[in-house]
């Protein structure tokens, strides 16, 4: 009989650990999706369907190489021109975050200016920011790895 008592105790510890850590699971999964979206867009230049986002107009490509100056006076030179990677200052990529919406953890773009920038990019280039099926699966795997680690830790 004592073996069943120990199993019950283990299950109770696991249940408590899982309850305490559920936000952590969501954050880990969401951060994995965000990282994959960022890599797909900013490193590989691909949209949500895995296709090339687009090409830069030759005049804009020249500006990207020679120097683009923004309203704050910052000039960016030598930017990639072989494919659209939506990367200039890095502000938009840095604004990809995991946050809370009610009781859920969600991924998104922080800051009104960055949201408008992303919306403009989607108007121009099509669906970019939606996670692909592969990215969602990676998030699910990260979620499950975190659950596994919590269970192992709870069992000591």
Q: What is the mean pLDDT of residues 99-110?
A: 90
Residue count of the chain, please give it. Answer: 156
Question: What angle, 0 to 180 degrees and rounded to 10, lies between the N-to-C axes of helices 133-155 and 2-38?
Answer: 150
Q: What is the mean pLDDT of residues 25-51?
A: 93
Q: What is the mean pLDDT of the chain?
A: 89
Phi, psi of 5 (to 5 degrees): -65, -40
Q: What is the mean pLDDT of residues 46-68?
A: 91
pLDDT > 50? residue 58: yes
The pLDDT score that the predictor gives to residue 138 is 93
Tally of domains within the chain: 1
Q: What is the mean pLDDT of residues 82-92?
A: 86
Q: Which residues does 41 contact at the CB level (< 8 Å), separation at least 6?
A: 47, 53, 85, 86, 93, 128, 129
pLDDT > 60? residue 6: yes
Domain span holding position 30:
2-50+94-155
Name the pLDDT band for 156 (thresholds 50, 70, 90): confident
Name the pLDDT band for 144 (thresholds 50, 70, 90): very high
The structure tokens listed for 21 are 């850590």
For residue 81, tell me if it sits in a domain: no
Q: What is the pTM of this model?
A: 0.82
The structure tokens listed for 26 are 């969501």
The alpha carbons of the chain give a radius of gyration, in whole angstroms, of 21
pLDDT > 70? residue 2: no
The pLDDT score that the predictor gives to residue 1 is 44
């Amino acid at each position: 009989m004592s073996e069943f008592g120990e199993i019950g105790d283990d299950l109770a510890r696991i249940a408590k650990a899982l309850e305490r850590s559920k936000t952590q699971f969501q954050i880990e999964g969401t951060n994995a999706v965000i990282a994959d979206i960022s890599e797909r867009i900013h490193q590989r230049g691909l949209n949500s369907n895995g296709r090339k986002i687009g090409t830069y107009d030759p005049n804009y490509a020249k500006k990207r190489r020679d120097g683009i100056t923004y309203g704050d006076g910052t000039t960016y030179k030598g930017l990639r021109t072989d494919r659209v990677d939506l990367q200039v200052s890095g502000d938009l990529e840095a604004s990809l975050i995991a946050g809370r919406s009610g009781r859920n953890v969600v991924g998104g773009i922080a800051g009104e200016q960055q949201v408008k920038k992303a919306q403009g990019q989607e108007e121009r280039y099509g669906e970019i920011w939606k996670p692909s099926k592969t990215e969602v699966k990676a998030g699910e795997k990260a979620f499950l790895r975190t659950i596994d680690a919590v269970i192992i830790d709870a069992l000591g």
